[in-house]
C-alpha cells in the first residue's frame, strides 16, 4: 500500500513538472515528496529521474514506470468517482429477498409501482424464497423477514409492520368441511408450509402439538400452500397482510376469526449501517408503503 502511494506521488510530480508544485497539489512538503521518490527508486533499484536546477527529466526506467503510475492514478480516480456516484445517485440493481407469500401483497405491488415511477434508474430483483439464508452470505441487498431476526449482530433492522397469523381456506372448502371450533382443525386437510408455524399455532389453540394426519406438505413454499388453499384444497396458515389480496378476490377467508394466534413482525434487514443511495431509496419506499 505504501508503494501505491509513492507511485501516485511520482505521477503527480511528472504531471506538475516539479516537486514543489506536486507538493502544493498534494498538501505535502517538497522534502517529503523528494523522500518518497528516493524510496521509490530504492524499492525498484533503478534511477527514475535526472534532477537539475531547471527541470526534471525521466530516465528510460522512469518513463516505463510513469506509464503504469498514470494508469494507476486513472483507475483510482475512476473508482472514487463511481463509489461517490453510488452514494449520491439512486441507480443500479437492488436485490430484495422476501418470503414467497409476500410477492402478491399490496405493499410489494406499491413498492414496484413507486420504484418504476420515481426511481427509473433502479432495477429491482425479487428473490422470493422462504428459506432465510444469512444476509451476509446472500446476494441480497435487502431482506424482508417475518418474525425474529437473529442472523448477525451487524444487521440493521427496520420495523415495517405487525401482522397477525390467520387460518384461511376457500369458501368452497368451508362449505364442504365446516370449521366451527378449534377441535375441527384436527380432522381438516392442511396445506403445511412450515412445521414450526403449524405446531406453535396448535399449541396456542390448546390443541395437541403434533402434525395433523391429513395434510399436503409444501415445505418452505408458502405461496404454493396459499394457492392450493385458494383452489379449495384445504386449510393453511397465512399472515393477515398476505391474506388481504385473497380475501378481496373472495378466494380465501379467515377461519375462526375470533381465535388469537401469535403475530409476526415484518422487518426490512440490511447487513450493515453503511448503505448505497439505491438501497437507502428502496428502504425508504418500503417503510412508506408498509406505513400506508
The domain that holds 125 is classified in CATH as: 3.40.190.10
CB 143 within 8 A of CB 268: yes
Whole-model pTM: value is 0.70
C-alpha closest to that of 165 among 291, 257, 292 = 257
Domain of 66: which CATH number? 1.10.10.10
Q: Does 176 lie in the same domain as 140? A: no
Is the domain of 126 the same as that of 243? no
Say what the alpha-carbon torsion angle 147, 153, 155, 157 is, to the nearest 10 degrees.
50
Q: Which three cell numbers stand for residue 244?
A: 388481504
d(CA 107, CA 136): 25
CA 172 to CA 55: how far, in whole Å? 92
Check whether residue 17 and residue 46 sit in a common domain. yes
Whether residue 155 contacts residue 269, with contact meaning beta carbons closer than 8 Å, is answered with yes
Judge if 66 and 101 occupy the same domain.
no
Number of structural domains the chain divides into: 3
Instruction: Mark whether 112 and 198 lie in a shared domain.
Output: no
Q: How far is CA 29 from CA 24, 37, 216, 264, 270, in A?
A: 7, 13, 76, 61, 44
Same domain, 223 and 257: yes
Same domain? For 133 and 271 the reply is yes
Q: How far is CA 180 from the centre of its chain?
A: 42
Q: What is the pLDDT of residue 88?
A: 67
Same domain, 138 and 66: no
Cβ atoms of 33 and 22 closer than 8 Å: yes
Task: State the residue range of the domain holding 79.
Answer: 1-87
List residues bridging with 236 in a β-sheet: 168
Q: Are 72 and 4 in contact (CB under 8 A)?
A: yes
| 157 and 240 fall within a common domain | no
One domain for residues 101 and 223:
no
101, 221 contact by CB (below 8 A): no
**Domain-terminating residue out of 87, 113, 129:** 87
Distance CA 134, CA 138 (A): 6
Give burial (CB, 10 Å; 0-12/13-18/19+) of 148.
Answer: exposed
**DSSP label at residue 137:** G
**What does the pLDDT read at residue 81?**
77
Domain identity same for 78 and 10: yes
Which pLDDT does position 106 carry in this prediction? 97
Which of 32, 57, 87 represents a domain boundary (last residue)?
87
SS3 content of the chain, % helix, strand, coil (to 5): 50, 20, 30
Q: Which residues pair with 238 in a beta bridge?
A: 166
Q: Are residues 157 and 273 in the same domain?
A: yes
Q: What is the pLDDT along the chain (292 residues), one digit of tens a residue?
A: 778 999 999 999 999 888 889 999 899 999 999 999 999 999 999 999 987 756 788 999 999 999 999 999 999 988 887 777 666 678 899 999 999 999 999 999 999 999 999 999 999 999 999 887 677 667 899 999 998 776 567 789 999 999 999 999 999 999 999 999 999 999 999 999 999 999 999 999 999 999 999 999 999 999 999 999 999 999 999 999 999 999 999 999 999 999 989 889 999 999 888 888 899 999 999 999 999 8
Say what the pLDDT of residue 152 is: 63
Amino acid at each position: 500500500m505504501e508503494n501505491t502511494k509513492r507511485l501516485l506521488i511520482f505521477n503527480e510530480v511528472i504531471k506538475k513538472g516539479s516537486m514543489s508544485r506536486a507538493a502544493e497539489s498534494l498538501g505535502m512538503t517538497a522534502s517529503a515528496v523528494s523522500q518518497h521518490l528516493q524510496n521509490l527508486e530504492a524499492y525498484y533499484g533503478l534511477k527514475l529521474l535526472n534532477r537539475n536546477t531547471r527541470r526534471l527529466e525521466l530516465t528510460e526506467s522512469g518513463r516505463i514506470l510513469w506509464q503504469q503510475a498514470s494508469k494507476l492514478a486513472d483507475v483510482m480516480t475512476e473508482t472514487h468517482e463511481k463509489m461517490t456516484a453510488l452514494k449520491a445517485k439512486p441507480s443500479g440493481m437492488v436485490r430484495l429477498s422476501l418470503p414467497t407469500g409476500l410477492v402478491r401483497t399490496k405493499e410489494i405491488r406499491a413498492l414496484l409501482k413507486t420504484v418504476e415511477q420515481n426511481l427509473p434508474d433502479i432495477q429491482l430483483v425479487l428473490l422470493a424464497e422462504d428459506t432465510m439464508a444469512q444476509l451476509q452470505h446472500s446476494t441480497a441487498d435487502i431482506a424482508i423477514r417475518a418474525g425474529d431476526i437473529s442472523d448477525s449482530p451487524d444487521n440493521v433492522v427496520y420495523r415495517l409492520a405487525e401482522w397477525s397469523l390467520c387460518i384461511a381456506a376457500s369458501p368452497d372448502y368451508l362449505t364442504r368441511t365446516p370449521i366451527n371450533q378449534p377441535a375441527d382443525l384436527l380432522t381438516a386437510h392442511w396445506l403445511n408450509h412450515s412445521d414450526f408455524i403449524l405446531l406453535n399455532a396448535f399449541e396456542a389453540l390448546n390443541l395437541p402439538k403434533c402434525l395433523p394426519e391429513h395434510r399436503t406438505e409444501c415445505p418452505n413454499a408458502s405461496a404454493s400452500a396459499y394457492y392450493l388453499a385458494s383452489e379449495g384444497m384445504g386449510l393453511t396458515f397465512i399472515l393477515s397482510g398476505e391474506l388481504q389480496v385473497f380475501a378481496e378476490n373472495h378466494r380465501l377467508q379467515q377461519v375462526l376469526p375470533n381465535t388469537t394466534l401469535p403475530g409476526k413482525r415484518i422487518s426490512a434487514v440490511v447487513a450493515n449501517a453503511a448503505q448505497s443511495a439505491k438501497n437507502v431509496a428502496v428502504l425508504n419506499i418500503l417503510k412508506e408503503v408498509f406505513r400506508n
